[in-house]
Amino acid sequence: MDFILNKSPNFSKRARSLKNIRFLIIHYTGMQSARVSMKKLKDPKSKVSCHYFIKRNGEIYRMVEDNKVAWHAGKSKWKDINDLNESSLGIEVQNKGHYIAYQNFPKKQIFSLIKLIKVLMKKYKIKKHNVLGHSDIAPLRKLDPGEKFPWDFLSSKGVAIWYPKLKIKNFDYKHEDRRKIFFKNIFKIGYRFLNLSKKSKNDPKLIKAFQRRFLPEEVSGKITDKTLKISHLLTK
């Protein structure tokens, strides 16, 4: 696979064992242009970086070597893992993002990304359920890659998970505690930063993070029937 090198100095000096690479984390850049984004990702003062950067035209840049820990995830958790930087590769996908002007992801960009993910999954034996978005591992702080990111398409190419298209009969939650069931389900899926025992002001953020990933047409922050059903199907 061809990469354009554009090295960033922002990584932990100690090299890691390649066996530690278990996750791929997808980000969007959330900045005005590729030039501005890469400048920041290379600036020693910014203390942020990624391993791979995919431009809107599909070009792939390599910024940090795989055996180095790049600084892309920040405070993050997934299942029993804290600080995902140690065990992941970070892939930045160029997009202006929610705070500037959230864009659709061009086909060329997504095809390059899928190609890259396939190569990395094979190389490091990464499981498709460990291909995650930044908002999955930091749902209270992050929105990327967001509801326009085609997770269902990635899943159809075997590089991400999606829920099974099953009909659930007699799945009536009216008399049950919807909140409790939903949060139990997403905890089981891997989401953290949630309060299982009682309502929290963070609830809408967590619900939206889940919806951005699995129900992108309905980012409401409310536990609708469909939201609840999908959370249930994903635990299967």
Binder among 10, 34, 63, 144 for Zn ion (CB under 5 A): 144
> Any residues with CB less than 8 A from the CB of 58 and at least 6 apart, and which?
106, 108, 109, 111, 112
Q: Is 213 in the site for Zn ion (CB under 5 A)?
A: no
Amino acid found at 80: D
Q: Is 136 in the site for Zn ion (CB under 5 A)?
A: no
CB atoms within 10 A of CB 215: 20
Q: Is 92 a catalytic residue?
A: yes
Nearer to Zn ion, 95 or 227 (CB): 95
CA-to-CA distance for 234 and 190, rounded, in angstroms?
Answer: 11
Q: Is 134 in the site for Zn ion (CB under 5 A)?
A: yes
Give the interface segment with Zn ion, choosing from 7-15, 22-30, 205-213, 223-231 (CB under 5 A). Answer: 22-30
Contact by Cβ (8 Å): 20, 86: yes
Both tokens assigned to 229: 């059903």
Nearer to Zn ion, 27 or 208 (CB): 27
Binder among 26, 27, 146, 186 for Zn ion (CB under 5 A): 27
Active-site residue (options: 92, 176, 217, 218): 92
CA-to-CA distance for 234 and 152, rounded, in angstroms?
Answer: 13
Nearer to Zn ion, 71 or 183 (CB): 71
Active site residues: 92
